[in-house]
């Protein structure tokens, strides 16, 4: 265990913090930290209760808005904005070494989580713990509770169809390991989620079950208020920018779902074709034993079909292990974003109702109650965090899909090149027989 600076480990997400938009864009750092914060013009208008026209908020992001995550989350953001070269990354997490555990009551897989960090929140420079899937699920639930305004990365689906997928097979375990590794790296790359106390416990606690039983982390005030918002408030309409986000997510999920279904059918047909090829090739080999001059060319065709079968098997494996998991992750990601968007709508609806109640009072200039101001702060927090996370998600999506499509193109090129080389190898055999005649 070394006390020096941590060694860089592979990580997903944006490589440059220049691509990471600040949720408080439009205000200076002095204003954000301690200066006089000025609400957006729309909110100023909404607060002018003496005017007859009541203007409800349109989701503008005011200066000085702080995340509900913790008292230091705003400073964390500002520090990350200053690290524009991305060379001061101080937290590295990897998931590896899956192990099968067979107990009397159940059988399950655990994964080794290795953490290296120079942050003051960590007592040691390096940790190594083992976690099972339900521990990852616990972490995600806690992040959703304590960070209701943020987009929490999705986990791979827990349940598989028995008899169709063997959840203890090497292929399935490796696919899940990659997905869990990506899940933690998404959190690690986030300027707020990576400082969450539950995440720290998940990475460092030797006995995580003790913390689960204690229910150690309490919800933040914003988390509590969002959690207890009921359906008694009805949203008039989403602000245009959030309505556009909702429309995009609906279309995006629909397109990816269609691609996923078609891709699965293609893979299924390729596997069926592969079975036929494996029966098809040997027929030429057994036939060659009956022939004289055609024996060598027939053996060549058999070998050619065998090479094509191997190439197709590699292509199918690549599609199953690399292509489909990314599609499914982003389908789940869109569901997570829709959930945060719905929470934001609930807070706006509550704010609108309370704002109207104040405006209807028979006073010339009624005073704004504290609960209305708190509700407005929650809504502004949602607006800032949701927009920042949406831009970060879009940046990651562009990077991930460029890499995915480039890999898919490369794998298909390799497959067809191997098939071409296999069939071209037969031509000389046939030409030699013709020249001999």
Beta bridge partners of 287: none
Q: Tell me the per-residue pLDDT of 175-190, one tens digit each, with 9 for 90 and over.
A: 899 999 999 999 999 9
> Looking at residue 436, what is its pLDDT?
56
Q: Tell me the per-residue pLDDT of 284-341, one tens digit each, with 9 for 90 and over.
A: 999 988 988 888 889 999 999 999 999 999 999 999 988 999 999 999 999 999 999 9
Q: Which residue has the tokens 């079968």?
A: 309
What mean pLDDT, rounded, does the chain reach? 78
Q: Is the pTM of this model over 0.85?
A: no
The separation between CA 120 and the C-alpha centre of its own chain, rounded to angstroms, equals 27
Structure tokens at 352: 């609108």
> Looking at residue 131, what is its pLDDT?
95
Gyration radius from the chain CA atoms = 29
CB 96 within 8 A of CB 177: yes
Write down all domains in the chain, each with its CATH number in brackets. 88-213 (3.30.1520.10), 237-431 (1.20.1270.60)
The region of weakest confidence among 166-170, 269-273, 278-282 is 166-170
CB 146 within 8 A of CB 198: yes
> Looking at residue 220, what is its pLDDT?
44
> Looking at residue 144, what is its pLDDT?
93
Q: Tell me the per-residue pLDDT of 114-159, one tens digit each, with 9 for 90 and over.
A: 999 999 999 999 999 999 999 999 999 999 999 999 999 999 887 5
């Amino acid at each position: 265990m070394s006390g020096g600076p941590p060694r860089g480990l592979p990580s997903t997400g944006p490589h440059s913090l220049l691509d990471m938009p600040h949720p408080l864009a439009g205000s200076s750092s002095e204003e954000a930290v301690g200066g006089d914060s000025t609400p957006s013009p729309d909110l100023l208008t909404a607060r002018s209760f003496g005017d007859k026209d009541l203007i409800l908020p349109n989701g503008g992001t005011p200066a000085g808005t702080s995340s509900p995550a913790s008292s230091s989350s705003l400073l964390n953001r500002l520090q990350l904005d200053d690290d524009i070269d991305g060379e001061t990354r101080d937290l590295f997490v990897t998931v590896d070494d899956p192990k099968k555990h067979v107990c009397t009551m159940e059988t399950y897989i655990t994964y080794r989580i290795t953490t290296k960090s120079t942050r003051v929140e960590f007592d040691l420079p390096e940790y190594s713990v083992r976690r099972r899937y339900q521990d990852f699920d616990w972490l995600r639930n806690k992040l959703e509770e304590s960070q209701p305004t943020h987009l929490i990365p999705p986990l791979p689906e827990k349940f598989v169809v028995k008899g169709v997928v063997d959840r203890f097979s090497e292929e399935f375990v490796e696919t899940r390991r990659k997905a869990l590794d990506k899940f933690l790296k998404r959190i690690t790359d986030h300027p707020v989620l990576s400082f969450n106390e539950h995440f720290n416990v998940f990475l460092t606690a030797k006995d995580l079950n003790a913390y689960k039983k204690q229910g150690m982390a309490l919800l933040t005030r914003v988390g509590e208020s969002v959690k207890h918002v009921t359906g008694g408030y009805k949203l008039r309409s989403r602000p245009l920018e959030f309505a556009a986000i909702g429309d995009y997510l609906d279309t995006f999920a629909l397109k990816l779902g269609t691609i996923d279904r078609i891709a699965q059918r293609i893979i299924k047909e390729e596997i069926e074709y592969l079975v036929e090829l494996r029966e098809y090739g040997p027929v030429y080999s057994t036939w060659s034993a009956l022939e004289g001059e055609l024996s060598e060319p027939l053996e060549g065709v058999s070998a050619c079909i065998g090479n094509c079968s191997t190439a197709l098997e590699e292509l199918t494996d690549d599609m199953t292990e690399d292509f489909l998991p990314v599609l499914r992750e982003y389908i789940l990601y869109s569901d997570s974003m829709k959930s945060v968007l719905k929470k934001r709508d609930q807070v706006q609806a509550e704010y609108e109702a309370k704002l109207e109640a104040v405006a209807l009072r028979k006073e010339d200039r009624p005073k704004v109650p504290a609960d209305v101001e708190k509700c407005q702060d929650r809504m502004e927090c949602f607006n800032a965090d949701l927009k920042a996370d949406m831009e970060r998600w879009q940046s990651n999506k562009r990077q991930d899909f460029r890499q995915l499509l480039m890999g898919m193109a490369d794998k298909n090129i390799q497959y067809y090149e191997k098939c071409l080389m296999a069939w071209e190898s037969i031509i000389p055999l046939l030409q030699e027989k013709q020249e001999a005649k």
